[in-house]
Structure 1
Amino acid sequence: MQEDKNNNSETENDDLYEHYRFVATEGQEPLRVDKFLMNFIENATRNKIQQAAKAGNVLVNELAVKPNYKVKPKDVVRVVLSYPPHENLLVAEDIPLNIVFEDDEVIVVNKPPGMVVHPGHGNYSGTLVNGLIHHIENLPNNSSERPGLVHRIDKDTSGLLVVAKTEYAMAHLSKQFFDRTTERLYYALVWGDIADDEGTITGNIGRSFTDKLQMTVFPEGDYGKHAVTHFKVIERFNYVTLVQCKLETGRTHQIRAHFKYIGHTLFNDERYGGDRILKGTTFSKYKQFVDNCFKVLPRQALHAKTLGFTHPKTGEFLQFNSELPQDILNCLEKWRRYAASSTTETLEED
């Protein structure tokens, strides 16, 4: 058995970091992966390993496996978790923050696209947390690299986040997110003309067995975590649709995975295939138009627009709204003009 412990993961995944790596020897007898790992990870329990596997955190040859997977000779077994194995990653940095609200208990910020929320593999500086610990002393810890955080959004998703400034606020807010009493509304531009004006997407979300960089929907509920997204159409542009999404649960990549599942991948979502033309015509003029839209909006079209929660001290329900960022506004305006011109051409032909 060869062991490579506490190494950086080479994956580009923003959420997972390698903590353990083992290579099965040529003489390895078939053995359940949970039993296999118990033999080599100090202080590990079988239950914890099984839970990690069920959550998609145990990979064999780069694919997530269930606890009953039988390890074979030369299998590469990795344990990856949502926090990096390094210590002392946090360095205070004077990073401008778009602060929407702040008092002694909480701070609400409007995160720009492209900013990573907390340090991790390949992003050890320039994150929101680096800026927060410069702005606020003694943020409460929930883990070594995520002080104050009770939720997060993806690097290329823009919008509102609430951060706890005290231990009490962290516990109070964490319970609200667990109990699903917060309000979170997102705006997303998705491929295709959604048939219904509003609806609900339900389906367990877990890490894909074939692509570890993606989350996927398991409609039978045999894997992943329960997830529910409510949506309402805001504006239609023939080949794409602007929707409002209300999260009932808060799973990793929930909106991105759910809308891909129903055939309406987010516009320019590279990880989920939305950076290709998924709906529309084959005319070169249209292709050029879409390419121009990709240049205007070089990320997935997703913005955390509204955030509501109960203030930990006052008990008042606070609601905050943010304007759509300029890159999304510019892209929407392009689609608006294109849809209008297409309609005009059709009417003239009639």
Structure 2
Amino acid sequence: MDNKNTGRWERTVSAQDIGTRLDKFWARELAETGVSRGKVKSWIESGLATVNGEVVDKGKYKLAGFDTLEIGELQSSGEDTAEAIPGDLKIVYEDDNIVVVDKAAGVTTHPAPGEPDATLVNYLLHSYPDMASAESGMDGQRPGIVHRLDKDTSGLIVVARNEAGRLRLSADFAERSVDKVYLAVVHGRPKKAEGGIDAPIGRHPTRKTRMAVVEKGGREARSDYRVLWTGPRGLASLVAVRIHTGRTHQIRVHMAHIGHPLVGDATYGSQEDAVWKRRDDKLAQLGPRQMLHAFHISFTHPQTKERLTFWQTPPEDILSLLQGLYRECLRVGIVGMPGSGKSTVVNSLRKQAHPTFSADESVAKLYEAGGDGADMIAQRFGNQFSHEDGSVDKAKLFSAMCDSENLRREVMDMVHPMVRHECELFFRAHRDTSVAYAEVPLLLEGGWHKTGQVDVVAGVRCPEEMRTGDLRRQRGLSREMLAVFDSWQWPEQDKLAACDMVVENSGSLEDLEQETRRLHEWATARFTERNAEFAKWLDELWPRLAQEFAGEGDKA
């Protein structure tokens, strides 16, 4: 006898089935109902199968003649039936058999002990009364639920509206014919742009509320990931993860297992999450929950047998995090020939309250007594280029660098990495501003524009007669010394040709201040354009990914 209202099946063993294994018997009996062999095994092992009223949890149990058998999910009593509660539901698709919902983060899938808040099931029962146990024959606490999303995971979830649909969908999930792809924002950037993770998952050996990759006793768990984008400085990456099994916390556990836990996941990335929340910039407030979104799902309709595919743009918190990662300050490098007026440009920008960095000032601090540069030069050359207080004798060192190209290169190789590091710290400290400027005389020669230390380069152009005349004398440089400095740099024509914009210094100080305002307006416009281009790229990314994933799912 089959009882739709209880969700259980009953049989009496005939003579021909004497000696048959319990699991094989029920797999045969329920084959046409859509209940899979895996589901039968799960029910038996969960104590949902009885023989003559006694629970039997071993599939290999041999049947005897005229045994009375029952199997199936036990229905909750009336007081344990989930309550219909009004709530916001974002319905992606619905018909008489199924509902596809874009679940919001913070909503639990179904009622459970210790979960007092209204769940997705409560909201569904309010919108779809026909799903209630009394009418549908489904479980009173979890009607229609065939798969789950963690409370703080957003995205697509498929729900059945009747028992027949639930059984067919459950069988499809058990047989892994449902294609699911998630989007996650993870700490750092995986070394491999894409890869597979085949690592069994079970209960954590010491923390029973957590899952973990385990050597023994775990269940098969397979995931494939692909890096879609990495933010500036490699702080975090957007990855797509296709899961081939549906283990609890699978993506969170697997990504942490390869060293890249999800941003906002305090359970499986506790150290990374703590560091993230201590940041001194706006990113610390982004990523309030595990950044995981069920983006794409493809499955066979339980009634029509049509293949249905759905996708859903990530919610605002994930979009805000991605845009926040990208919205670093525009890092502008300032270059120019010696004596062209770079320092004056930097001072003008400072007067306008824009953050600035000067390599010359950085070197001056490094050369002070106790500075890293002074200590390193003393270690390498002894007291040859040091004052009594330990500071660098810059005149003596400069003279030696003029006499020896090898010594000059050696000193540059020691000092330049320190300046680069100081500049990186400067940009990091001002990442939340629109634009930050760094004046670095040998920026182009050092390849900073090619290796990502700056985003754009502005060059200061000054007429030769001004640079070698009044401006040279104002700086106290001899023609010979200026010529030496020139010889260490690219020719002006090559330097300016490599720049993204040019600041003209051919008039008065007032004219140059106006040019620096033009520089900032240009840089601000570039910052705005760059962010708009990224926002457009994101908007275009989601439908493109959905098309790709649908094609990949068809091939799988």
Q: Confirm or deny a common fold (TM above 0.5).
A: yes
Quote how far apart the aligned CAs of 1:207 are. Answer: 0.9
Q: Is the 8 A contact 1:269 1:275 kept in 2?
A: no
1:346 aligns with 2:453: yes
1:329 aligns with 2:305: no
1:111 pairs, out of 103, 122, 126, with 103
Which structure 2 residue ranges, 5 or more long, are not aligned? 1-52, 60-74, 332-426, 428-447, 458-556
Which runs of at least 4 in structure 1 moved beyond 4 Å after TM superposition? Answer: 42-48, 83-87, 277-280, 339-345
Residue type matched to 1:107 in 2? V
CA-to-aligned-CA distance 1:68-111 (integer Å, 9 cap, x gap): xxxxxxxxxxxxxxx99995151111112100000011000000
Quote how far apart the aligned CAs of 1:45 are. Answer: 5.9
Helix, strand or coil for the counterpart of 2:197?
A: strand
Q: Match for residue 252 of structure 1?
A: 248
Between the aligned residues of both structures, percent identity stands at: 37
TM score, norm. by length of structure 1:
0.69
Helix, strand or coil for the counterpart of 1:271?
A: coil
Distance in structure 2 (CA, Å) of the matches to 1:316 and 1:46: 36
Q: Match for residue 268 of structure 1?
A: 264
Which structure 1 residue ranges, 5 or more long, are not aligned? 1-41, 49-82
Q: Match for residue 528 of structure 2?
A: none
Q: What's the C-alpha RMSD, in Å, of the aligned pairs?
A: 3.0
CA-to-aligned-CA distance 1:251-285 (integer Å, 9 cap, x gap): 000000011111111111011124735889xxx9x
1:234 pairs, out of 214, 218, 228, with 228
**Structure showing the higher strand proportion among its residues:** 1
Q: Match for residue 211 of structure 1?
A: 207
Residue type matched to 1:200 in 2? G
Distance 1:322 1:107, change over 3 A: same
Distance in structure 1 (CA, Å) of the matches to 2:92 and 2:113: 29
Quote how far apart the aligned CAs of 1:113 are. Answer: 0.5
Segment of structure 1 superposing worse, 269-278 or 239-248: 269-278
Residue type matched to 1:241 in 2? S
Helix, strand or coil for the counterpart of 2:267?
A: helix
Distance in structure 1 (CA, Å) of the matches to 2:165 and 2:115: 27
Q: Is the 8 A contact 2:91 2:100 kept in 1?
A: yes
Q: Match for residue 194 of structure 1?
A: 190
Distance 1:84 1:313, change over 3 A: closer
Distance in structure 2 (CA, Å) of the matches to 1:210 and 1:94: 40
Q: Match for residue 280 of structure 2?
A: 288
Distance 1:277 1:269, change over 3 A: closer
Distance 1:191 1:348, change over 3 A: closer
CA-to-aligned-CA distance 1:153-183 (integer Å, 9 cap, x gap): 0000000000001111111111110111111
Quote how far apart the aligned CAs of 1:145 are. Answer: 1.3
CA-to-aligned-CA distance 1:2-43 (integer Å, 9 cap, x gap): xxxxxxxxxxxxxxxxxxxxxxxxxxxxxxxxxxxxxxxx96
Distance 1:98 1:45, change over 3 A: same
Quote how far apart the aligned CAs of 1:296 are. Answer: 2.7
Aligned residue-pair number: 267
Q: Is the 8 A contact 1:160 1:304 kept in 2?
A: yes
1:124 pairs, out of 116, 121, 145, with 116
Distance 1:138 1:125, change over 3 A: farther
**Structure showing the higher helix proportion among its residues:** 2
CA-to-aligned-CA distance 1:173-232 (integer Å, 9 cap, x gap): 1111011111111000111211111110011111101111210002x4x21210000011
Distance 1:349 1:98, change over 3 A: closer
